[in-house]
């Protein structure tokens, strides 16, 4: 819970809640960055001061992901949506298809962009189930002749998450981790390319982190305009153009904060505890319900609804929640309902406070 009385409890899906300690550190840097007499937004992005930021940022990312030497890390402007087009531009071969595990809104966006460039093949989809569960994995025969397989590890809108991430023999795997990157311990060396926007667990919107195996990068298209070549961004040290210096420094502060919390194992256990606490209430509620299949429920984005007989109370719930200091609980415009996002910076106390509010609301509805 906040030590500042004018702060609300923000359950937004992104841009999302930041730790107050990080906000305070960022605020200080805007006036006098590391004793330079200049604010963070004023320093030259190729200065030795900012070189140190980028070196520590890569070091901490590599350390927390436990990456081996065959993987590269770099940062891109445009957020994860830029990569929906950049990935097929770089890796989709003329005589092959990109394979997709379709699990909702964001894979749909990626598929649409891929189709502008070449063939996007649907290997599995849970659309027939309204994306309330994850798709059944394809067989080896289904994945034949695709040059890579792409999926989204956590679906912010539908509230599903791969708790055991799919792997495929002899086929590169590309994973959009925008909304659960660094939320749990994983073997990050098993993937050929992972990417994610920073605005959920790592700071500011408008930047994506990209982690790519060297063997996969070597297969990229070198005939593209330079800005669309992923290898060019790596070679330029994430500074092919003037970068979002504030967002990159904020990401560094978030990595330092994450280490102070005990790293990925500790934060993963806390994220599971928060989610299970809220789901436990939803499953016994006579007013609210969690529609996602239990095995596939996200620990990051808890999607819930009022039961059909109470649907007319939706606006009342959101209004009373806002009056009580619980903000950004409305579900995505594509599905409605409600959503509570429990990213790394969200405290267990905040989740407990939300649950208590929901219990009181339920009592009023039933009275």
Of the candidates 62, 69, 110, 70, the residue with the CA atom closest to the CA atom of residue 218: 70
Q: Which of 106, 162, 274, 305 is catalytic?
A: 106
On whether the CB atoms of residues 215 and 196 are closer than 8 A, the answer is no
Q: DSSP assignment of 153-192, as one string?
A: SEETTTTEE-SS----TTS-EEEE-TTTTTSS---GGG-S
3-class SS of residue 300: coil
200 catalytically annotated = yes
Cβ atoms of residues 93 and 114 within 8 Å: no
Question: At how many degrees (to 10) do helices 48-65 and 245-260 cross?
Answer: 40
**Angle in degrees, CA 230, 177, 77, rounded to 5:** 40
Q: What does residue 174 show for φ and ψ, rounded to 5 degrees?
A: -120, 130
The secondary structure element, H or E, covering residue 327 is strand 326-327
Q: Catalytic residue among 200, 274, 296, 305, which?
A: 200
CA distance 328 to 11: 5
The answer to whether the CB of 171 falls within 8 A of the CB of 151 is no
Q: Which of 176, 180, 296, 305 is catalytic?
A: 176
For residue 215, what are the contacts with CB-CB under 8 A and spacing of at least 6? Answer: 70, 192
Interhelix angle for 79-91 vs 105-115, to 10°? 40
Alpha helices (H) along the chain: 20-29, 48-65, 79-91, 105-115, 214-217, 230-235, 245-260, 263-284, 314-323, 348-366
Dihedral sign of CA atoms 324, 327, 266, 185 in order: positive
Residue 257 designated active-site: no
- 106 is an active site residue: yes
The one-character DSSP state at 9 is E
**CA–CA separation, 5 and 253 (whole Å):** 24
Active site (catalytic) residues: 106, 176, 200
């Amino acid at each position: 819970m906040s030590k500042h009385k004018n702060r609300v409890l923000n359950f937004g899906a992104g841009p999302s809640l930041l730790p107050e300690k990080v906000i305070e550190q960022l605020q200080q840097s805007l006036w006098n960055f590391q004793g330079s007499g200049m604010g963070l937004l004023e320093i030259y992005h190729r200065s030795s001061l900012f070189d140190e930021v980028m070196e520590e940022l890569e070091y901490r990312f590599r350390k927390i992901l436990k990456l081996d030497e065959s993987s590269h890390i770099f940062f891109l402007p445009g957020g994860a949506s830029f990569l929906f087009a950049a990935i097929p531009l770089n890796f989709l071969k003329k005589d092959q298809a990109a394979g997709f595990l379709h699990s909702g809104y964001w894979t749909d966006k990626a598929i649409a962009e891929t189709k502008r460039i070449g063939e996007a093949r649907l290997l599995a989809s849970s659309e027939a189930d309204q994306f309330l569960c994850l798709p059944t994995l394809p067989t080896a025969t289904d994945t034949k002749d695709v040059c890579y397989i792409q999926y989204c590890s956590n679906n912010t809108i539908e509230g599903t998450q791969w708790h055991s991430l799919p792997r495929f023999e002899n086929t590169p795997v590309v994973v959009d981790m925008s909304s659960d990157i660094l939320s749990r311990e994983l073997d990050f060396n098993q993937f050929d390319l992972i990417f994610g926007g920073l605005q959920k667990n790592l700071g500011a919107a408008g930047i994506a982190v990209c982690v790519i195996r060297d063997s996969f990068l070597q297969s990229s298209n070198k005939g593209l305009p330079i800005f669309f070549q992923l290898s060019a961004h790596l070679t330029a040290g994430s500074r092919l153009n003037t970068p979002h210096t504030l967002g990159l420094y904020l990401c560094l502060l978030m990595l330092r904060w994450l280490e102070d919390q005990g790293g990925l194992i500790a934060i993963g256990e806390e994220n599971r505890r928060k989610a299970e606490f809220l789901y436990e209430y939803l499953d016994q509620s006579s007013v609210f319900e969690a529609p996602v299949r239990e095995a596939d429920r996200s620990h990051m984005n808890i999607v819930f609804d009022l039961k059909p007989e109470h649907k007319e109370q939706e606006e009342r719930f959101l209004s009373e929640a806002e009056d009580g200091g619980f903000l950004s609980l409305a579900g995505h415009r594509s599905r409605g309902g409600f959503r509570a996002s429990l990213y790394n910076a969200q405290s267990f106390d905040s989740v407990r406070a939300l649950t208590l509010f929901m219990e009181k609301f339920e009592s009023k509805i039933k009275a």
